Amino acid sequence: MLYSSTTGIGQDLVLLHGWGFNSELFNDLIDRYKNQYRITKIDLPGHGRSDEVNGGLNEWCDEIIKILPNNPTLLGWSLGGLLAINIANKVSISKLILVASTPNFVRTDNWEFGIGANNFEQFSDSLQLNLSKGLKRFVSLQTKDKTQIKHLNQTIDNYPATTQALNQGLNILLKTNLIKTLESLSVEKEVILGKNDTLVPNKIAKWYQQNNIKTQLLNTGHLPFLCDDFLL
């Protein structure tokens, strides 16, 4: 069973976090918008308080779909963005919001908007050597707000991901290509990117705009929703 928690009033908004983290990451964002949206946060399989789910992208998404409210706005950050795209291709949602995310994280001959697979694997390997320490260092590079850093560090320690889930998530990040899927979606789409993001190159903003997807480019790194300029 996957963990979820719902807060607030208004249109349904569902938040999907990224690799190695958990839904507590969104608490500040929820506090900001709980009077405008009925917000559901979900721990991904094997992350936080959720049970592991065997399989990969489709199996993870099928479990998430079981607890989605009807026709929500679906926001996916990083790995959560890939899941959100795949879910939007399976069930009806009212809007898709991708945050620091891309339909294909890995650069290929036909896709210049990713990072090298070797660089990605080195990054993940360095994190997994000491996941807690690695994620905390990553967070410290994304915000200078000491209160935010303290809160996020506590959530990293309190709700770690399992080794199986980390391996599954990394496999999804490395092998998933949803470019055609995203292009074919008729649902309203919006993207919020960080100018200084080292995992999702900001030049992808032009590709999103060429595909008629509303795009915001904020002066942040890979965690744009920690910034006061982040607006839904």
* Residues acting as catalytic residues: 78, 197, 222
Confirm if 204 and 104 have CB atoms less than 8 A apart: no
